[in-house]
Amino acid sequence: MDIIQNGTALVISGRRLSELDLFVCRVLNILTPHTPYVIVSGYVAILFGRTRSTEDVDLLIPVCDVSTFLLLHDEFIEQGYEFLNAEDGCGLHSILTSGSGIRLSEKDQFIPNIEIKFTRNEADAYSFKNRIPLIMNDRTFWIGPLEMQIAYKFWLGSEKDIEDAIYIREISRDFIDEDLLQEFCSSFGVNV
């Protein structure tokens, strides 16, 4: 697997799309006509080739009104997906506006699933505003800034999160801004 930087984009070659990647691609095909997104957390490490399992993929989307969300909701239902939260479309929107996430999977499947959240704080807004296109097999995955991903995973502190942070930092060492990484680590109160 090779990673090169092409302008602001990162391009991965030599890595085949996994079943999880294909699931994410199918979801993004439905999502992107309705709203932009940014992928954050553990799936970023998986995109970069880290071999580990995950049950969910974390996506942030900008806050939208209920009518816009209902269009997205209905499109997912029509395309064979279901929301794992026991709510109708308006209830799901209320969950999002309260700051919590909602989960989406293919019908009658629980794993894998996508956790969708509205951007709700300064870190989310930064991730969204500074998202990076990651291109693999002619597919674009919009990911959060690597420096923030690394600092956030160190802050979470579980063994898996720390391993993700170390992996992302090592594989992207040619593309990350070490000063910015240290700034984020300082703001999260972690040392690397």
How many residues are given for the chain?
192
What pLDDT does 159 receive?
93
pLDDT for 54 beyond 90: no
Q: How confident is the model at residue 192 (pLDDT cuts 50, 70, 90)?
A: confident
Nearest-angstrom CA–CA distance, 2 and 98: 41
Write out pLDDT tens, residues 70-105: 999 999 999 999 999 989 999 999 999 999 999 999
What secondary structure letter does DSSP report for 12? E
Residue 192 inside a domain? The answer is no
Residue 89 inside a domain? The answer is yes
More confident residue, 91 or 53: 91
**Domains of the chain: total:** 1
183: three-class secondary structure by DSSP = helix
Residue 162 inside a domain? The answer is yes
Taking residue 102's Cβ as centre, other Cβ atoms within 10 Å add up to: 22
Q: How confident is the model at residue 43 (pLDDT cuts 50, 70, 90)?
A: very high
> For every residue of 34-48, which 3-state class applies, written as one string?
CCCCEEECHHHHHHC
Residue 70 inside a domain? The answer is yes
Mean residue pLDDT of the chain comes to 94
Q: How confident is the model at residue 191 (pLDDT cuts 50, 70, 90)?
A: confident
Q: CATH number of the domain at 47, please.
A: 3.30.460.40
pLDDT for 53 beyond 80: no
Which residue reads 């160190």 in tokens?
154
pLDDT for 189 beyond 80: yes
Write out pLDDT tens, residues 114-143: 999 999 999 899 999 999 999 999 999 999
Copy the structure tokens of residue 61: 């989307």
Q: Could you list the residue range(s) of the whole structural domain that residue 87 is in?
A: 2-187
Residue 29 inside a domain? The answer is yes
What pLDDT does 33 receive?
94
pLDDT for 51 beyond 90: no
Residue 94 inside a domain? The answer is yes
